Chains A and B, each alone.
Chain A
Amino acid sequence: MTVCLLFAPMIGARPGDLTGEEASALAEHLASCNACQGRLADEEVLSGMLSEALMAEANRRDFSAFSDEVLARIPTLERAGARTAPQGGMLRPILGWVRHHRLLAAASALAPTLAALALIVYLGQGSAPEGAPVEVSSEGRSTMVLETSEGPVVLLGDLEPEGS
């Protein structure tokens, strides 16, 4: 076992790590030592797994804001970046705003549809008795339109987008 004290730490060396003399001595020892052959087999089978695991952790993380945050930490670049307005540069803050204000964004998207529906109901108001709510559906969403003496009133429901 004692001779393994010298060679066990050499196991896992890559080409160029050991001197020629060390590499030859290690090869000679490995040929006759089952325990060190086992150590080498363990090392070989696990080789690359740590790198893969850490890269997998990195790949699971959302890096979409990373470079922006780096540039923001470099004052000279932040100013230069604003001047050049790179591709997607104008879109990036808008997309960021939409991500952080999903409810308002959904309401904004639905507003023209609701206005059009209100107009249709108003023009055909003779068909429904005053005060009776009319249910209107569009793109899988239903909206109540209430007829009043002041004209149709759209009753806004829950505008939270599905799945959010």
Chain B
Amino acid sequence: MEADDLALVSRAKAGDPEAFRALVVRTQRKVYAVALGIVKDRDLAWDISQEAFVRVHAHLSEFKGESSFSTWALRIVSHLAIDSVRKERTAAKDDIDDVRETDLAGGGEGILATALGNDPQENALRRELAGKMAEALAQLPEKHRTILVLREVEGLSYEELAERLGIHKGTVMSRLFHARKKMQALLREYAGIEPEEAAEGGAEP
């Protein structure tokens, strides 16, 4: 944990509102990004982010500094965001995490990598797709959005994901596989790569 953060937390614990404000300002955008990725709605994400900081303040005395302040704040906001979208969960197809033969069929592996080229920072298609990522994410089912955000934005390991979501490590891997597969299919669609073309383009990395 950064020394600055520790000092600010100590001052905030002692009741200094400006120290707490500084901690909020340092982490607010990432906290909002996590909430937005999970709940999709900007206003709801704003409200959940603020509620997360209210909870952070309420439990500040329990914060021991074992993880960074931002890690702690992100954990709280993701819990709140997941709670708020839990009702979205539906039964049937989306609840199946297993990877089956049919999930591996269809080809297209490596086609995005080829299209995006060797220098992704300079690639125009990459910039275009980056602008579509949030839109693509919003089209995924709640459990796939959630696991992608926790993995990609919060940076959780498989073990941490398993603990956070209450699932086995094997399920973490297969759920991530499905989430990425859906995301890549949407991005191929945005990039104008037809499924047939993808299937033909297939196996070359």
Give me the interface of A with B, judged by CB distance under 8 Å. Answer: 1-2, 4-5, 8-14, 16-18, 34-59, 61, 63, 66-67, 69-71, 73-74, 76-77, 80-81, 84, 86
| Cβ-closest 4 pairs across A and B | A38-B110, A38-B109, A53-B133, A41-B113
Asked whether any CB of chain A lies closer than 8 Å to the CB of B176, the reply is yes
Distance from B162 Cβ to chain A, minimum over Cβ atoms (Å) = 10
In the bound complex, do residue A51 and residue B29 qualify as a contact, i.e. CB atoms below 8 Å apart?
A: no
Q: Which of B180-198 contact A (CB under 8 A)?
A: 180, 183-184, 187
User: Once the chains are docked, how many angstroms separate the CA of A80 from the CA of B146?
Assistant: 37
B101 and A34: CB pair below 8 A?
no
* Among A5, A35, A45, A66, contact of B203 (Cβ-Cβ < 8 Å): A35
Do A77 and B137 have beta carbons less than 8 Å apart?
no
Residues 80-131 (chain B) with a chain A CB within 8 angstroms: 99-101, 104-105, 107-114, 116, 120, 126, 129-131
Cβ of B160 to closest chain A Cβ, rounded Å: 10
- Residue B24 lies at the interface, judged by CB distance under 8 Å to chain A: yes
Nearest CB of chain A from residue B42's CB, rounded to whole Å: 7
Q: Tell me the complex Cα distance, A41–B205, Å.
A: 6
Q: Are B120 and A58 in contact (CB under 8 A)?
A: no
Contacts of B187 in A (CB 8 A): 46
Contact residue range for chain B? Answer: 35 or more
| Chain B residues with CB below 8 A from A49, complex form | 126, 129-130, 133
Chain A residue nearest in CB terms to B107 = A35
| Chain B nearest CB, measured from A127 CB (Å) | 59
Interface residues of B in 135-152 (CB under 8 A from A): 137, 148-149, 152
A36 touches B109 (CB 8 A): yes
Residues of B near A57 (CB, < 8 A) are 33, 36, 134
CB distance from B74 to the nearest CB of A (A): 12
A38 CA / B109 CA spacing, docked (Å): 4
Total of A-B residue pairs, C-beta within 8 Å: 175
Q: Among the listed A12, A55, A86, which residue makes an inter-chain contact with B176, where contact means beta carbons less than 8 Å apart?
A: A12
CB distance from A96 to the nearest CB of B (A): 16
A10 touches B24 (CB 8 A): no
**Bound CA span A59–B29, Å:** 7
Residues 7-28 (chain B) with a chain A CB within 8 angstroms? 15-18, 20-21, 24-25, 28
Let me know if A9 and B29 touch, CB within 8 A.
no
Of chain B, the residue at the smallest CB distance from A82 is B17
How far apart sit A42 and B182, CA to CA, in the bound complex (Å)? Answer: 13
Chain B residues within an 8 Å CB radius of A76: 15
Q: By the criterion CB–CB under 8 Å, are B113 and A53 in contact? A: no
Measured between beta carbons, the chain A residues less than 8 angstroms from B202 are 35, 38
Assess whether B176 is in contact with A9, with CB atoms less than 8 Å apart.
yes
B2, CB-defined interface residue at 8 Å: no
- Complex interface: chain A residues within 8 A of B69 (CB): none
A163 to B37, CA, bound (A): 35
The reply to whether B109 and A50 contact each other, CB–CB distance below 8 Å, is: no
- Residue of B111, B120, B133, B153 with most partner-chain A CB within 10 A: B133
